[in-house]
Amino acid sequence: MRGLVCLLAACAVMSAPLGAAPKTLDFYFVDVEGGQATLIVTPAGESLLVDAGWPGFEGRDPMRIQAAMKQAGIQHIDYFWMTHYHTDHVGGLEALAEKVTIKNFVDHGDNNETNAGGQKLSASYERARAKGKRITLKVGDKLPLKGVEVLTVASNGELLTKPVKGGGAENAACAAAQKRAVDPTENARSLGFLMTYGKFRFLDLGDLTWNKELELVCPQNLLGKVDVYLTTHHGMDMSGPAQIVHALAPRVTIMNNGAKKGGSAPAVDVVRASPGLEDLWQVHFAVAGGADHNTAADQIANLEEKCEGHGLKVSAGKDGSFEVVNLRNQHKKTYSARR
């Protein structure tokens, strides 16, 4: 009898399904030629699309987003997050919404730019968002994603005023900070967020500009350190002062630049000098930067100005470890969890 019990127990173990691999938080940095479109898929299978690239170009950017969705294995977008009302960020949305179901449209409120171009863009956004539910976020609000925290740290010109968990350290670099002319555009009103999955942290501030970024980290770094940082404003020199980049101390920086937009030499120098930086990855080779101000070719998704639109993928674990893959050549690097 005892032998029969042992045999049955062994059979049960042998027939049990193998444990599934731990699920990851996945980011697809879509090439929209110097705009933004970042598709994020949570371990629970929910999707967040940050911006939708440009209009026109024979539907190029919506098609590239759809290709990323296919790769991610999703059929619809749960949340569309619009950082701000500029054509390179929201121009492709209306065409995308005609092809893909988008359930929720997240923004900072109405467009603050009321010129003819701004009105046209607002009307396009209103037509797209009419197909779903609108959500307007203020600083401190969180997006209801399962298992992942998405905290609004900048919205419509307002900024986080209290440190997040892990933030609050005095920033000695602020003594040398110099402000620039006030930016009256939508850039300074970008809807930015800090995403946390267990020990992994990711920051996207859209096109938030210089003075606003300084306020987030001076005199105290309210944001703390992050694992992956998406360069603000595509790596343009009107954003990304050393005071914020070095305070964030990202292990990996992703630059969503275009061939001739973003990826400026001063911005690259700031990133490279950041303490604790392990790697810079770029969506495009920046023509103006030349060999000295671009990262290694294996870590650039598109080397040619006229390209096929390859992207970058980041997969993060709850323990803080993550992997970056260049979808052009499948070159990948793994970053172990911080001790």
Percentages of the chain per state (helix, strand, coil), in multiples of 5: 30, 25, 45
Q: Is residue 193 part of a domain?
A: yes
Residues 103, 75 contacting (CB under 8 angstroms): no
Domain CATH for 265: 3.60.15.10
Q: Is residue 337 part of a domain?
A: no
Q: What pLDDT is stored for residue 323 in this prediction?
A: 98
**244-257 per-position pLDDT tens digit:** 999 999 999 999 99
Q: What pLDDT is stored for residue 22 in this prediction?
A: 75
DSSP state of 19: P
Range of the domain at 72: 20-332
Q: Is residue 5 part of a domain?
A: no
* Paired sense of beta strands 312-316 and 25-29, if any: antiparallel
**195-243 per-position pLDDT tens digit:** 999 999 999 999 999 999 999 999 999 999 999 999 999 999 999 999 9
* Paired sense of beta strands 192-197 and 200-204, if any: antiparallel
Q: pLDDT tier at 339 (50, 70, 90 boundaries)?
A: confident
Q: Is residue 104 part of a domain?
A: yes
Q: Is residue 302 part of a domain?
A: yes
Q: What pLDDT is stored for residue 19 in this prediction?
A: 53
Q: Is residue 206 part of a domain?
A: yes
Question: Phi-psi category of 31—alpha, beta or left, where left has phi over 0 and alpha has psi -120 to 50?
Answer: beta
Q: What pLDDT is stored for residue 94 in this prediction?
A: 98
Q: What pLDDT is stored for residue 16 in this prediction?
A: 39
pLDDT, mean of residues 168-184? 97
Q: What pLDDT is stored for residue 9 in this prediction?
A: 42
Nearest Cα to Cα of residue 26 among 40, 15, 37: 40
Count of Cβ atoms closer than 10 Å to residue 280 Cβ: 21
Q: Is residue 271 part of a domain?
A: yes
Tally of domains within the chain: 1
Q: What pLDDT is stored for residue 12 in this prediction?
A: 41
**CA 179 – CA 86 distance, rounded (Å):** 24
Q: Is residue 245 part of a domain?
A: yes
